[in-house]
Structure 1
Amino acid sequence: MPCSDENNGTTGAYGIRHVLAPNPSPMTQNGTNSYLLGQGDVAVIDPGPLDEAHLAAILAALGPDERITHILVTHAHLDHSAGAKALAAKTGAATYGFGAPQAGRSALMQRLAEEGQLGGGEGIDHDFLPDHNLADGAQITVGGARITAHHTPGHFSNHLSFEFGTTVFSGDVVMGWTSTVISPPDGDLASYFAALDRLESLAPHQLLAGHGAPILAPRKRIGQLRAHRLARHAQIAEATHIAPVCATTLARQIYGDLPPRILQAATRNCLAHLIDMMEKDELSVAGPITDQAIFQRR
């Protein structure tokens, strides 16, 4: 049976409880999903934004003899991690994550970040620093629940997914309602494809995402997301064969008329594809890499 997704504070199968943050937006759908896992001693996965009402709702979801001992963060975006420090202060729980916001970057993305002209950095929680770093494959046990951390960058370099039995908490890497934003240097297309492969190899029965409803057919959804990115890659490759192009122009050509915030996200996705093709020696670029940098065929 899947995790209950009907009401805040309800207990679903596997002892997983779901609390929805009140931060709906075009980028978060109905809001950020916070999850409670374990009995007695409880882990919170993604405390969400810094919102006192949401933190109170998380605490209200505890049983009378329960306490939060672990705060697990999938990645350092403000809508997932900003509430961690405040929740830790209220409960005395330790925080866990892969590392600081820049942790886990590929060598290419680290170099591009150091060059300082790429931009990006949308919604980063620059103050996030976990009490304990969880390496890829690290395991912890909380309230009878054994949780395994998997490093799954792509959407964000320090992104972790958490495996518990046949459930995987997939953060923003795999969501049912939309594909994720890949915004270099925090996002990396090659790492994203590797993360999809990693999650697929775990063969979960359900994915519980950072936003949206439970995903009850994970292999199918992962396949859809992989196919979507490959189709987008083919579109962008075709466009570069026609003429040199920048990410801003590509986004307008491919996505059409979008609200400014969504268009910016689409532009960053296009840039991620262009950088990936550059890394594979399919494209070259003159000057620093930005949204307006012109990429052309070698």
Structure 2
Amino acid sequence: MQAGVAEQVAKGIRRILAPNPSAMTGPGTNTYILGHGAGVIVVDPGPAEEQHLAAILATLDPSERVTAILVTHAHKDHSAAAPRLSALTAAPVFAFGDALAGRSPLMQRLADSGFVGGGEGVDLSFRPDRQLTDGEGLICGDGLLRVIHTPGHMGGHICLGFGDVLLSGDHAMGWASSLISPPDGDMAAYMASLDRLLTRRWSLMLPGHGPAVTEVAARLQALSDHRRAREAEVMAVLRAAPATPADLTRRIYHDIPAGLHAAATRNVLAHLIDLAARNAVICRDLPGPDTIFTRSDPL
């Protein structure tokens, strides 16, 4: 994968890597161009980088016209270029909603109580021209692009089914697990969305970051198993004594760079909020990195 170079990754799908590598984005954000000819769809135009916008436009043949820009979720590394690309192509921007769309009642209550997220850059200015609905189909060339609402990484996150190819955004990737940072992220919703994706047979998964995944079912199941194993680790550590999410992160995550501990703490916190909703753990204060959590069954 090389930034700015278009690659044919599946029939009717081209990928362009944005020049924004980092610990959180891997090699960078993947932008996908679906279809050929008079009407093509751009998925996740990426960060507001003129170099990347130029690469997207240079990939198009003179006869091609962008008819829609789809954004899987409102993180700046996926959505920030959408207004500029829309202005350059006159194509409308489609998404499930703005950065706050799709939150569960629990996450909304946390947000209303003053709980704030952390980790990735939420694009609070993002406003789609049209909101998509779960199960909606969009014509793309000779195929149909199906919208799959997959809350978890964000409340308004969507995946896209293009035949038996899954464009998974940040919900599922091959190189890393996703950040779940409440109240924007929701662990219970994330797990339910993984289960939903597992009900379909996919031949290929094209994530928002990193290379394509060919063993899709195995990868989705591995991500689910990984989260359940983390939950078990959290509960095991809490059996010894109450702890904060930061304490749990230091005891559970032994093999990650120190720079990723803040993101790992958000994932642990997401597990704890989910466990508290299921009455498996309790806390007296508003959930946060320094809140003390206790098992409901400490014996």
1:258: Cα distance to partner?
Answer: 4.6
Secondary structure at 2:5 match in 1: coil
Which residue of the other structure, out of 189, 192, 195, is the alignment partner of 1:194?
A: 192
Residue number in structure 1 paired with 2:218: 220
Residue number in structure 1 paired with 2:56: 58
Mapped pair 1:23 → 2:20: yes
Which amino acid counterpart does residue 126 of structure 2 have in structure 1? F
* TM alignment of 1:1-298, pairs within 5 A: 8-40=5-37, 41-120=39-118, 122-256=120-254, 258-298=256-296
Which amino acid counterpart does residue 124 of structure 1 have in structure 2? V
Q: TM-score, normalised by structure 1?
A: 0.95
C-alpha separation in 1, matches of 2:128 and 2:219: 31
Which amino acid counterpart does residue 26 of structure 1 have in structure 2? A
C-alpha separation in 1, matches of 2:73 and 2:230: 25
Deviations 1:204-241 (A, max 9, x none): 11110000110101000011111111111100011111
Deviations 1:88-141 (A, max 9, x none): 011000000000111111111010011113443631011111101001111111
Aligned Cα root-mean-square deviation (Å): 1.4
Secondary structure at 1:11 match in 2: strand
C-alpha separation in 2, matches of 1:12 and 1:175: 15
Aligned residues: 294
- Tell me if the contact between 2:119 and 2:262 (Cα under 8 Å) persists in the aligned partners: no
Which amino acid counterpart does residue 16 of structure 1 have in structure 2? I
Query: Any stretches of 5+ residues in structure 1 without a counterpart?
Result: none
- Tell me if the contact between 1:43 and 1:68 (Cα under 8 Å) persists in the aligned partners: yes
Secondary structure at 2:282 match in 1: strand
Which amino acid counterpart does residue 286 of structure 2 have in structure 1? P
C-alpha separation in 2, matches of 1:265 and 1:135: 30
Which amino acid counterpart does residue 24 of structure 1 have in structure 2? P
Secondary structure at 1:176 match in 2: coil
Q: TM-score, normalised by structure 2?
A: 0.95
Query: Any stretches of 5+ residues in structure 2 without a counterpart?
Result: none
C-alpha separation in 2, matches of 1:261 and 1:187: 20
Secondary structure at 2:198 match in 1: helix
Which amino acid counterpart does residue 237 of structure 2 have in structure 1? A
C-alpha separation in 2, matches of 1:233 and 1:10: 38
- Tell me if the contact between 1:8 and 1:20 (Cα under 8 Å) persists in the aligned partners: yes
